[in-house]
Amino acid sequence: MRRWHAEHHRADRVGWLRAAVLGANDGIVSIAGLVVGVAASGAGPGTVLTSGIAGVVAGAMSMAAGEYVSVQSQADTERADIAKETRELAEDADSELAELTHIYVKRGLSEALAHDVAIQLTAHDALGSHARDELGITETLRARPLQAALASAAAFVAGAVLPIGAVVLAPAAHVAPVAMGTTLVSLLGSGALAAWTGGAPVTRGAVRVAFWGALAMGAAALVGSQFHVQG
Q: Is the separation of the CB atoms in 113 and 28 below 8 Å?
A: no
pLDDT for res 67:
86
- Specify the pLDDT at position 45: 81
The predicted structure's pLDDT at residue 157? 92
Nearest-CA neighbor of 168 among 63, 31, 21, 60?
31
pTM of the model: 0.67
The list of the chain residues with pLDDT below 50 reads 1, 4-9, 11
pLDDT at 2: 53
The domain ranges of the chain are 13-83+146-224
How does pLDDT run across 22-61, given as a tens digit for each residue?
788 788 888 888 888 888 887 888 888 899 999 999 999 9
